[in-house]
Structure 1
């Protein structure tokens, strides 16, 4: 049996209203860069010692805003976001992810969800580095969870282009709760090609993890539930308070020069529509998986859950003034620009990195998969499926190592699902409208308009793609990496936890 998403139950505690909080009174926290705890041997590298990181997941309390009581949360190294793990290309590391959390969860578990049944421990974790090319046994497979007092040692080869990745919990059936509790952090890969561009670095290169939360007046996190106490799952979790690096409406003191912000959407369900005040523009230089071919000037940056965008902001013309980062029309972060130093901001390079296009016609397999929301007799969403299959159904996607495939996501639902594939990076080929009635009646894919190419900012390497309603979204990828079991899923965490996740198996070449 599946839980239903009936009407949302009214919160049993009064919630904080955004209008009741003073704006821009707390400094923006900048997560510290994690330092290796030492070195260890690994069987893949005989005679060699690898940097070893030891990361504990712990309960902690933090003030999300100056005027709020401390909030109970969970975090890597007892913080949200967790520390930034900063690595170099082709320099492997070991990370031991340690579950030092309490035995009981403080958010509502739906035991009718597959993988979260009664009898399973309340508190289970397994960490996935989102966007990392890793062996299957280090990917954070959802069923490889472990309980408080236990840990997992993972090997990260870091054999990939410079990119802004992030790590988060991926435990089967409770990912949405563990991430909402605070289990997320940034993982940055650097390489010499990017370094040669002399983009802002050091203290001028800042990860900015964006999310939203519902917070009670006593400071506690509130997670929404349905009006059925036996099945509290809801199909979306939208907060009303935006958090930037774990603070509500913070400010950042900056110099009148160029900065690099690594924007990461770590929200459960919400997307961010970002802009700058005073008609200031972003210069986007990277997306999910690497640098773009060239800088793109953009007035707005839209990020769906798990998507990233690295942007440059030039504050040199705003000495002594303030600029706001806005979500829609609401300021969520204020930049306070210091006095002018008289130094000039260097010109941006005209090109960043070659991004050769995958020839989708050369694919050995063209797969067509539907994104499905199954309702009950009363119209309540019950289960979210990928191509009509549940997690426990036999594996249907078995690509060959080094092969090229295209996957077409048919979206007859009303949601723009962000679809994420583990292990691989891909390119968006096109989006194309289709006849919804023909699909629902006969599963006939009848196109109603021309294929639309990706937007310029979508032409880099991606690992998460927005699949619009009423469209077929097609991606192409080469399955580079080690054979084994990986997963693909919707990155709306509520959907992912309720069957909108499937394993796939990468077969040897």
Structure 2
């Protein structure tokens, strides 16, 4: 993958990148305000054990909308203190269940649960709110929340729609049917306009779905299965979180935020005592903006056995793993043969954590399965609709702001994506920006078809997609079910999905949280029939060269071309 200027800036170091990236993007804007920061070189490495998030416990049973009795949970969002490192003062955070990460939900496929999410947070926000962002207007409560279980197939009223927020002192009841394959999902805040601030404060946790097919594989489990939530945060000299300000009065939003510390399950530089055997490590990138390029300091390899929404067909051996915000990876680390060693997990040259391998033989080392779980491919011929959807960002020098859009449309514009329930569609993500954007679709799981370079300049001049080379299939470790895909700059990234489960209003968005909060999110609606579509586009509005190198879009207003088979 080519490294752009912005990728270099944001990954060449942890500190100061928010300042540099924002100021280079905003030629006429003031530089972000920056407080003195913690000197991370002063922190001792690997003195705190890796915390393992607690397991959420049901408090009873209640009836679902279908009348079934299911386990019932109640989770409060509260302000809390967290000691991120042995040598630091407690850091003020927000958390589900008063912890970061929040408690982990352990569920089983086909066995639903009900959760009451309670907003018991303070009335004032801890970070600056940009009231110019849509959904963050000054007349709204400062602290608003709504929970989205990322990767879950849920009814629309339980999905965490960004405008379905509730203020401090209120709660919402959500139903999660869990009618999906085993996978590690996660839950986080999704309130319109302040989502990035709420997650940054600590509102995130894991949600694991298990099934019998996974259990039959005899993968490492119990204490040999390790959840690993990674994110970066910016700490000041008082060891408190802060969120950088643009320096523009009344408009504090900045394009991305990068921290000076990496947190692993809420700790800086933790260690984990392991036996010389196989471990299953399930990794989530919960950062606002940073991708992680993970490798072992020993130079050894590891195996990936699963993606966002389930297991791969077979293990994939890796020396390094690229993980964008919201992506998950199911990994096997084999420490057999490494008794007595200290092995670091790194992001590029930066330490994340350390594995301390016991200097004694293990009772059982584990066996890597040659095959894991079949992943049936969705056939392109099954797609009834193909969409061309642009990713756009540009500077609005008149308004002294940045505009970030999907499909050249704002959040409040009419819905243009209306897939029919149980139909298959292909979405072509046309990235006209300098960024790689992790694009997430709610409700559905999808597969990556390919990525293909195109002439960005030609598109900007005459809205013609002219391909510059052949399509590249997804990497072997992407060949499973996904809910978030990396759409690289200058490429058309094609995904295919079946829109199944429920009809109703959902969203798709960039999971760089600063982008998402600044209009890089759009509603879409699953409808029950073609007659429900409210913005249909006729075949005469576009010409499509099947299998050729040129696609010409002729509509004057929208970059969304729907190509529907009769």
Counterpart-to-counterpart distance in 1, 2:39 and 2:412 = 41
2:452 pairs with 1:432 = yes
1:77-96 Cα deviation digits (max 9, x unpaired) = 00000000010000010011
Q: Contact between 1:254 and 1:335, CA under 8 Å: does it hold in 2?
A: yes
- 1:9 corresponding residue in structure 2: 32
1:105-146 Cα deviation digits (max 9, x unpaired) = 011100000000001000000000000000001000000000
Aligned CA distance change for structure 1 residues 19 and 400 (closer, same or farther; 3 Å): same
1:292-320 Cα deviation digits (max 9, x unpaired) = 00011100011000000010111121212
- 1:257 corresponding residue in structure 2: 277
- 2:46 corresponding residue in structure 1: 24
Counterpart-to-counterpart distance in 1, 2:90 and 2:386 = 51
Task: Please report the RMSD computed on the Cα atoms of aligned residues, expressed in angstroms.
Answer: 1.3
- How big is the shift at 1:281? 1.2
Q: Contact between 1:89 and 1:191, CA under 8 Å: does it hold in 2?
A: yes
Q: 2:352 aligns with which of 332, 336, 346?
A: 332
1:150-183 Cα deviation digits (max 9, x unpaired) = 1111000000000010000000000000000000
Q: 1:204 aligns with which of 207, 213, 224?
A: 224
Report the 3-state secondary structure (helix = DSSP H, G, I; strand = E; otherwise coil) of the residue aligned with 2:227.
strand
- 1:189 corresponding residue in structure 2: 209
Q: Contact between 2:396 and 2:403, CA under 8 Å: does it hold in 1?
A: no
Aligned CA distance change for structure 1 residues 381 and 198 (closer, same or farther; 3 Å): farther
Report the 3-state secondary structure (helix = DSSP H, G, I; strand = E; otherwise coil) of the residue aligned with 2:104.
strand
- How big is the shift at 1:396? 0.4
Aligned CA distance change for structure 1 residues 280 and 157 (closer, same or farther; 3 Å): same
2:168 pairs with 1:148 = yes
Counterpart-to-counterpart distance in 1, 2:189 and 2:31 = 25
2:485 pairs with 1:465 = yes
Moved over 3 A (4+): 4-8, 378-381
Q: 1:316 aligns with which of 332, 336, 343?
A: 336
1:345-374 Cα deviation digits (max 9, x unpaired) = 232111111111111132110000110002
2:519 pairs with 1:499 = yes
| Counterpart mapping for 1:222-237 below 5 A | 222-237=242-257
- 2:15 corresponding residue in structure 1: none
Q: 2:471 aligns with which of 443, 451, 459?
A: 451
TM-score (norm: length of structure 2): 0.87
2:137 pairs with 1:114 = no
Aligned CA distance change for structure 1 residues 226 and 482 (closer, same or farther; 3 Å): same
Question: How many pairs were matched up?
Answer: 503
Counterpart-to-counterpart distance in 1, 2:73 and 2:225 = 22
Counterpart-to-counterpart distance in 2, 1:372 and 1:68 = 41
1:454-501 Cα deviation digits (max 9, x unpaired) = 110111000000000010000000101110000000000000000000
Report the 3-state secondary structure (helix = DSSP H, G, I; strand = E; otherwise coil) of the residue aligned with 1:152.
strand
Report the 3-state secondary structure (helix = DSSP H, G, I; strand = E; otherwise coil) of the residue aligned with 1:82.
coil
1:221-249 Cα deviation digits (max 9, x unpaired) = 11011121210000101112111001111
- 1:243 corresponding residue in structure 2: 263
User: Relative to structure 2, which stretch is displaced further, 419-428 or 314-323?
Assistant: 314-323
Counterpart-to-counterpart distance in 2, 1:226 and 1:163 = 38
| Counterpart mapping for 1:128-143 below 5 A | 128-143=148-163
Aligned CA distance change for structure 1 residues 336 and 84 (closer, same or farther; 3 Å): same
TM-score (norm: length of structure 1): 0.97
Counterpart-to-counterpart distance in 2, 1:456 and 1:246 = 31
Aligned CA distance change for structure 1 residues 261 and 73 (closer, same or farther; 3 Å): same
- How big is the shift at 1:331? 1.7
Aligned CA distance change for structure 1 residues 269 and 162 (closer, same or farther; 3 Å): same
- 2:58 corresponding residue in structure 1: 36
Counterpart-to-counterpart distance in 1, 2:354 and 2:453 = 40
- How big is the shift at 1:381? 5.3
- 1:62 corresponding residue in structure 2: 82
For structure 1, the residue ranges without an aligned partner over 5 or more in a row are: none
For structure 2, the residue ranges without an aligned partner over 5 or more in a row are: 1-24, 530-566
2:324 pairs with 1:304 = yes
